[in-house]
Structure 1
Amino acid sequence: MYYHCYADDTQVYLIINPKDSWDDIENRLERCLSDMQDWMQNNILKLNQDKSELIIFTPKRMANEFTGRKLAFGGSVIKDACRTLVRSLATSRLDYGNALFFALNATSLQKLQKVQNTAARLVTRLRKHEHITPILITLHWLPVAYRAQYKILLYTFKALQKLAPKYIQELIQVYRPQSLLRSGDSLSLVKPRTRSKMYGDRRFDVSSATLWNCLPLDLRKEQSLEVFK
């Protein structure tokens, strides 16, 4: 086991023999991390587990063997650095303001979806021509179009539960029939009329009602944010 220090960063590295098993490598690294943690505690220091990352350099022919490997210590799991970087540099940007992607034209959505697909292939080392859908499911990544719908529905739920800012709550209007009908208990939203399908239907008050009214009744009546998610 070797190490390299720079300022407040410490890199611990191990030269792996191709014949070594991951179980042996994992045990050696975890013992080393445990010793480091003990030493730091004894010297009134703290090892930041949330900022600790694992990166494995291997020949291309062995890449699949080490995909998704993790280390556990101190009650935390050190994640693959590749996934952390992809989340920081790619998927976080796909999620920023993505409610605006609702009803976006197919050409633009396809371009954004290609970015997500490339990110998924990079994380999983999937070959270019292999089917991407099973990989997105494994990663728990909704496709770009559905991530936009998910974001809008979360805003809608929070608005109905008075958890969203006032200006968002004011855009949501629950349908109240004039007579006592069974539909009055459906928690449907009023969908405003628009003049332009290209832009009008993408307004939040319209898109939220469109998506919300398509949800099953039990979801519309749900009170818990975590359960709704």
Structure 2
Amino acid sequence: MLPLGKIIHLYGLQFHCYADDIQLYISTKAITNTTLSTLSNCLSEIKNWMQRNYLQLSSDKSDIIIIGPTSHTRTTQNFSTLSSSRHIWNLGIIFDSQLKFDHHFNYITRTAFFHLKNIARLRPSLTYSAAETLIHAFITSRLDYCNIILYGSSSKVLNKLQHIQNTAAHLLTHTRSREHITPVLQKRYWLPISHCIQYKILLLTTWPPPNSQTYSTTTPPPHSLRSSEGNLLALPPRTKHQTWGDRAFSVATPTLWNSLPKSIRDCTDPHTFKSLLKTHLFKLAFNL
């Protein structure tokens, strides 16, 4: 991979290399012919290098996507080695040019209900423990996978995922579809989807806790509560696009972290931190 890395860096591009996949990406404020030409020339040189080393670039499996505002994504151009697309697969996630994840939500919904129907056929002959294992293996794992990128998504799309979780809870507990599902989720200690996303962000981006250099004692807490003072993270400058900038981890992490009680922010034990964090989000979700 070192020779490929040198070629890619020569064109000023960033990349990720996997076992059978290479991802190239570039950030730009405006899509110009120069940008597209740089990508095209880099891909052509990679293809030539692979041919010289008895390798092959799978053009049929290669794709390109332009992610950004509508005014930018309207610019399209076909490459000799690539075909442009409005949505692509990336490590199990379907990305679209607007980061709305509509295709991803629809895929999860189809797959989840396919497995729920199969589990429903077996449910009469399954014990509670066995049914719970199947639901966590085929349903919960899909709802949790890379869910942090869904932070800031509209309530319309998040409700689709919540409907899947609700259906799984109905199936597991033999609760009728007309009965309210909130007590069932509360009894199972299942966090709703939106709070699961917050839990994952706080768990992955704030542990171990931010060091003292990243603390900002001048950043005002979201609520003027005595218990929320101290160990706060500085918020970045106000973003221009709420649907884009506010979803970035650099904004989401300090926003969520600063809203936590001081007792959780001061916790240094990982197991205690997880327990306190989930309990806090659980109380918020069910107004306890």
* TMscore range, shorter length: 0.5 to 0.7
Runs of 4+ more than 3 Å apart: 55-58
2:231 is matched with: 187
Q: Quick check: 114-123 or 185-194, which moved more?
A: 185-194
CA distance in 2, matches of 1:161, 1:206: 15
Q: Determine if the alignment matches structure 1 residue 214 to structure 2 residue 259.
A: yes
1: CA distance, partners of 2:198 / 2:152: 9
1:202 to 247, 256, 260: 247
Counterpart in 1 of 2:269? 224
In 2 relative to 1, CA 67–133 (structure 1 residues): closer, same or farther, beyond 3 Å? Answer: farther
Structure 1: 5+ residue runs without aligned partners? 1-54, 59-65, 69-79, 163-171
Mapped partners of 1:57, 1:128: distance in 2 = 17
Q: CA deviation at 1:159?
A: 4.0
- The alpha-carbon deviation at position 83 of structure 1 amounts to 1.0
The 1:127/1:200 distance shift into structure 2, 3 A limit, reads same
1:142 counterpart residue number: 191
Using CA pairs under 8 Å that are at least 6 residues apart, name the structure with larger relative contact order, 1 or 2: 1
Residue 159 of structure 2 corresponds to 110
Picking from 84, 93, 115, the partner of 2:142 is: 93
Partner of 1:131: 180
Q: Per the alignment, do residues 57 and 187 of structure 1 end up closer, same or farther by CA in structure 2, a change over 3 Å counting?
A: same
Map 1:18-29 → 2, pairs under 5 A = none
CA RMSD of aligned residues (A): 2.7
Secondary structure of the residue aligned to 2:236 is coil
SS in 2 for 1:160: coil
Conservation of the 8 A alpha-carbon contact between 1:156 and 1:212? no
When residues 140 and 110 of structure 1 are mapped into structure 2, their CA distance, relative to the original with a 3 A threshold, is same
TM-score (norm 2): 0.46
Offset at residue 149 of structure 1 (A): 0.5
TM-score (norm: length of structure 1): 0.57
Q: Percent identity?
A: 40
Q: Quick one: which amino acid aligns to residue 244 of structure 2?
A: Y
Supply the distance in 1 between the matched residues of 2:169 and 2:200 (Cα, whole angstroms). 20
Cα distance in structure 2, aligned partners of 1:206 and 1:56:
43
Q: Is contact 1:67–1:124 with CA below 8 Å preserved after alignment?
A: no
1:50-65 alignment to 2 at 5 Å? 57=124
